[in-house]
Structure 1
């Protein structure tokens, strides 16, 4: 078969409303008004279900893991970015891979690809944290453009801690990239968000920079713009012997800084009978890096998360379907 999937937990039929397989008990199904009260992570966030269906899977000889970003394509499919230079197309209802496109830099070398957003013309904007850089890729993976990056973000950045998140703001005229960790010389609790403004010819020029305050020991693993122009921000950290900390914030810009409000600490979500291969404060948790808004209704956003398993037997590629009331 072209697709070989080794299940890490039991899987069931995909529910289109949540774009995920129910991998917990039957009660994990949401009703028509949202997730049941016992699925609440906080007053603002509930979890519908999770899926390990793609854990340790391969597609056309490519490992379907190391997933660091998600985006909704213009045809309704999901784009899932691997930080090992592969861009997958997934069926939004079943999560089944339907295509894979290899990515590379201008010299043909692999990318440490971390952030993804799909532009209105179907091209993919991809951030790489090694340079750092943001490139525009055609559907065949070829490079169409490389965006300018301020020198201080290249020379003062912490190794492996640059452009971890990428999103287009509503209207598509502003692109925003989130640094994962502070620059050398910056306050230890402040990271920078870099923006670009779309030009009349469809390219992007440098825009303003903004600051965002991170929690102690955490970094920004993803940002996603909400329909009203605010940001959902994932902060993530890892403590050996304890596990992952993953918190979801809503961020609103005030001048040159983004102020944040905690929506949920995902350790407070019900576990839905999930299992973990290493210590975790909640067995549901893993190394969550990707996030996309897949729909909205009844005052809630449908938010899909994915964890990066680092191609490690002790970690899991896991999708999470949340309902968020911002």
Structure 2
């Protein structure tokens, strides 16, 4: 009986060992995925500092404020020092640069970028603010109208260096949306306006609805990107000296938001429905993956993240690329971040754009 018990025990142990061995790779893969998780809905695939403090064709590579996928599959990266770079989508290596200017030849504080369906570039500047259309070689082709209150004071009610930061084209290509970074004078703190334009029959853009979005206390909105179903990925960002950056990624839904274009002051007591938002992740919770910081940060991975684009989508969710603006500063880093973001699906979403609605069936794998 004793020998039989020993053999039974040995057999059970060997069977258990075999089970553990067979499950090992699956567990390892699961653990690897979990080790890159920032939250249940966001994972960090990796980061790159390859562009930091480099130059291309005599132009400093950095100061990045926006990203977009071009029609040929390359990446367009906008510098707020009036340069538009073309990058290899895999290596991020620069392959071209185009200088930008306003109608007088003066440089822009260029912040938002959209590649339109004909390949022209829609670029926002927060100096006035403005949205201009450029040819691929940097010639101005058009300029969009801007509501008076959104202009920088004293012409309007916007703070200097706090106007159009994000720019995105909604699915279908008929509606353009720009996000203000900070609140207008007279609006409650943190309540920023999202302005839209509707494409006309001649291909130009006319002013359309405006919506209100409330950023977290102390944060502004540096970037916004439309998802395939018409919702919005919204970056919120702030900086505290001696502490570092705060960067959060939200999913925003404009379906039930009030058109605020005729609302003079957004006080929080005016019956206005804000754009609904859901936190996807705070970047501070992402694994650092060996990143280092040149100044104090709550996570060494963090920097002044300002640009964002969706590079694709599939069973793992949206593939999202972020980039930081180093301000050509020795204590900051030009860093690219590759994320996988799950926004949920399938769903049917009605997206209101001005007086029009578009219904779409959207499935995220």
Whether these two folds match at TM > 0.5 is yes
Q: Does 1:255 pair with 2:257?
A: yes
Distance 1:122 1:303 in 2: 21
Partner of 1:27: none
Distance 2:276 2:174 in 1: 22
TM-score if structure 2 supplies the norm length?
A: 0.80
Counterpart among 315, 338, 343 of residue 298 in structure 1: 315
Cα distance, 1:84 vs structure 2: 0.1
Q: Structure 2 vs 1, CA of residues 299 and 51 (structure 1 numbering), >3 Å: closer, same or farther?
A: closer
4+ residue runs over 2 A deviation: none
Q: Structure 2 vs 1, CA of residues 34 and 210 (structure 1 numbering), >3 Å: closer, same or farther?
A: farther
Q: Structure 2 vs 1, CA of residues 204 and 34 (structure 1 numbering), >3 Å: closer, same or farther?
A: farther
Partner of 1:219: 220
TM-score if structure 1 supplies the norm length?
A: 0.89
Instruction: Name the structure with the higher helix share.
Output: 2
**Residues 96-175 of structure 1 mapped to structure 2, 5 A cutoff:** 96-154=93-151, 155-175=156-176
Indicate the structure (1 or 2) with the bigger Cα radius of gyration: 2
Distance 2:190 2:334 in 1: 29
- Secondary structure of 1:260's aligned partner: strand
Q: CA RMSD in A?
A: 1.4
Partner of 2:43: 46
CA deviations on 1:23-48 (whole Å, 9 max, x unpaired) are xxxxxxx97x9971110000010001
Distance 1:117 1:229 in 2: 15
Q: Does 1:286 pair with 2:303?
A: yes
Distance 2:287 2:87 in 1: 27
Cα distance, 1:189 vs structure 2: 2.3
Distance 1:136 1:310 in 2: 25
Distance 1:219 1:118 in 2: 24
Counterpart among 82, 87, 90 of residue 85 in structure 1: 82
CA deviations on 1:48-91 (whole Å, 9 max, x unpaired) are 10000000010000000000000000110000000000000001
Where do 5+ consecutive residues of structure 1 fail to align?
1-29
- Secondary structure of 2:38's aligned partner: coil
